[in-house]
Amino acid sequence: MVKFINTSESLKKLVKDIYFGLSRQYKLKPNIIVEFFEDKKKFEGKIKRRLDALEAGVAYKNRLFLFVPEKLSTYTLWTKQNTRKIYLHEMAHAFNFQLNKEICPIWLEEGIASYLSSMYNERCLQLLFDKLIDFNDLFFKEDWNKQKTIIAYYQSASFVKYLARRYSTETVMSLKKKSTKDKAKFEQEFSKIFKRNLHSHISDWKAYLKNAKFKEINTKWLRDIVKNEKSQ
């Protein structure tokens, strides 16, 4: 069930649609509360921290805080056209929470949300191959927050995609179920589920990334990000 704090019928319909899609994939029916904001100050007051431009919504446990579509381009890097993906991304976090309350490793948490919502660009990663972040630095929240670049999200999504395509989305979700703050224990679970260790799968994923043919980037803001990152 989805409960809404304040919104229009058309937004409710969109969110419910996303909910039912995820509900089928996860085979879960969590209770989720969705609240919409038209004003950034009110949004930040609610979550008690500042938002950065990459953040178009926030998921906290089973609660979602979202900008209305019309305000996305005012306050974030995203636009109205990205609404469905953004809401799907945030809602996936709420479903993940139902699967397992532990959010570590963050690369898995964000990777699943970004993969399911198709919020990644692998050509961007290919161009920034030298800038890929060590997955060890994407495990804990504190480390992730230090990175918090688009590369962190995209590479997490791309790696989750690689796992989901080789095995299945269900298999990735079974790993999510075993998520734990204990890195060694997590890696053990990973090896059990994916037959080889994390390190060896990361090498395979990198080889795929390096050699695949991807479409060229067609958005200016992303081309600019690639240019900026390259020059750093």
**Residue ranges in contact with Zn ion by CB under 5 A:** 110, 113
SS3 assignment, position 120: coil
* Cis preceding linkage at 30, omega within 30: no
Q: Which residue has the tokens 């179920």?
A: 177
10 Å Cβ neighbour count for 53? 9
Tell me how far apart the alpha carbons of residues 44 and 47 are, in angstroms, rounded to a whole number.
5
| β-bridge pairing 63-67 and 57-60 | antiparallel
Query: How near is the Cβ of 197 to Zn ion at its closest, in Å?
Result: 26
Nearer to Zn ion, 44 or 166 (CB): 44
Task: Report in angstroms how near the CB of residue 127 gets to Zn ion at its nearest.
Answer: 23
DSSP, collapsed to helix, strand or coil, labels residue 59 as strand
Which C-beta is closer to Zn ion: that of 64 or that of 113?
113
Q: Which is nearer to Zn ion, 57 or 69 (CB)?
A: 57
- Distance CA(11)–CA(180), nearest Å, equals 35
For the CB of residue 231, give the shortest distance to Zn ion in the complex, in Å.
27
For Zn ion, which residue has the nearest CB?
113
Q: In angstroms, what is the minimal distance from the CB of 184 to Zn ion?
A: 25
Least distance from Zn ion to the Cβ atom of residue 93, Å: 6
The least CB distance from residue 153 to Zn ion, in Å, is: 7
Nearest Cα to 98, choosing from 190, 199, 23? 23
CA-wise closest residue to 70 among 82, 54, 55, 58: 82
- Select 50 or 213, whichever has its Cβ closest to Zn ion: 50
The alpha-carbon radius of gyration of the chain (Å, integer) is 17
Sheet holding 32-37, edge to edge: 2-4, 32-37, 63-67, 57-60
Q: In the chain, what is the straight-line distance between the N-terminal and C-terminal CA atoms, in Å?
A: 46
Closer residue to Zn ion in complex, CB, 116/124: 116
Q: Which is nearer to Zn ion, 54 or 212 (CB)?
A: 54
